[in-house]
Amino acid sequence: SWLSHASAPLTSRAKRHVLLVRPSITPTMQSLMASNALAGARGAYAAPNSRAKLNRRVAMSTRRPAAGAVTVRAGKTPDGPKVAIAGISGAVGTEFMRVLVERDFPYSEMKMLASARSAGKEVEFDGETYVIEELTEDSFDGVDIALFSAGGSISKKFGPLAAAKGCFVVDNSSAFRMDPDVPLVIPEVNPEAMADYKLGGARKGGIIANPNCSTIIALMAVTPIHRAVGVKRMIASTYQAASGAGALAMAELEQQTRDVLAGDPVTMEIFGWQYAFNLFSHNAPMTENGYNEEEMKMVKETRKIWGTEDVQIAATCIRVPVMRAHAESINLELNGELSEEEARAILEKAPGVSLIDDRANNKFPTPLDASDMDDVYVGRIRRDISQEGNNGLELFVCGDQIKKGAALNAVQVAELLL
């Protein structure tokens, strides 16, 4: 069955993926550079010749043989669902392919979709060459599952069209997250929210939303505590990687680092300020209450996922010069008492969570520990000494923003459809 196939342990097939990269570019950077990325860049604050420098950086990172940038293998099976990836040329689109391989996700047919400027380019997947097709209203005819990461406006236009044709859409944008009729799902946290979304079931198509990356990473760590004693108040401070702003932001961070070390003018195409050797408030638009949209996503999404308004949440989201994985400092006020030892025991058993909490050697999670990994890493587990008794807890959490924060979570949601 599809379910047993998707749940099987990793086989050697999952390891047979080859990155075709230029020697000067790391595999992580190669996987994240979209071939159409520079065409979408906008920058009012560019230094002289900065666009040319960034163009050279991105071109180096995206240059590929005619056969395609990524060769991967997954679980092709005659009775598997027909799958489409919308936004295949982006960072998360590429990661979708990698995760499908790692989890040996079953499929009978695969369709690669992107914008008109990427249409006609080729990618290799499971030993076959696929020509990227332009995303149109007819793209989802006969498709069972569509993984979307093409931006909110594209999702709003094509997501409902796909669902109306009987396709189950797993959308990585913010377009439908707060729609009361759309499940917002982290499979380890609230799979029951999509209990009636099943291939072959009574529901014929629908949309399931992927939460924001910072919300996913936080709730993977905090939900086991919430289930045990209840969380009354959560304060989160995030340290968010360049990957959250896309492939071009990652390229610019690398280019800015070269610029600063060489004493050259700093390239500023993506943000209006220096990123390398600096940090700044998250670039999401500000709202009237003084919080930016990224911070308010954490507030609203947490309440929806937990199904309660009876939790007070505040967040401060910061961009830091890290390439791929986010970090979060989380302070909890609990409804009941919970010791450090009890919290550690709970987290040790939590699915998708790994502990790095070695006080003796001052070893705790870092973004490098979490990069390219499935699990969310938790450490610095300690009592909040500003609160009396054991009603307060402090955690430090790291998770891969592109993987568990986006592509992996979406594929796990797709597995729940099987």
- Catalytic machinery residues: 213, 326
**CB contact at 8 A, 75 and 104:** yes
Burial bucket for residue 90 (CB in 10 Å: 0-12, 13-18, 19+)? buried
Q: What's 400-418 look like in SS3?
A: ECCHHHHHHHHHHHHHHCC
Q: How many CB atoms lie within 10 A of CB 190?
A: 18
Distance CA 190, CA 115 (A): 33
- 8-state DSSP, 308: -
Q: How many CB atoms lie within 10 A of CB 331?
A: 17
Residue 371 CB contacts under 8 Å (≥ 6 apart), including other chains: 28, 323, 324, 325, 400
**CB contact at 8 A, 99 and 14:** no
Q: Strands 312-319 and 231-240, how do they pair? A: parallel
- How crowded is the C-beta side of 225, counted as CA atoms within 13 Å? 34
- How crowded is the C-beta side of 314, counted as CA atoms within 13 Å? 7
**CB contact at 8 A, 380 and 397:** no
Q: Would residue 128 be called left, alpha or beta, if left means φ above 0 and alpha means ψ between -120 and 50 degrees?
A: beta
Residue 375 CB contacts under 8 Å (≥ 6 apart), including other chains: 352, 353, 354, 399, 404
Q: How many CB atoms lie within 10 A of CB 164?
A: 12
Q: Strands 325-334 and 392-400, how do they pair? A: antiparallel
Query: What is the residue-wise DSSP string for 204-252?
Result: --EEEEPPPHHHHHHHHHHHHHHHHH-EEEEEEEEEE-GGGG-HHHHHH
Query: What is the residue-wise DSSP string for 243-296?
Result: GGG-HHHHHHHHHHHHHHHHTPPPP-SSSSS--TT--EE--SPB-TTS-BHHHH
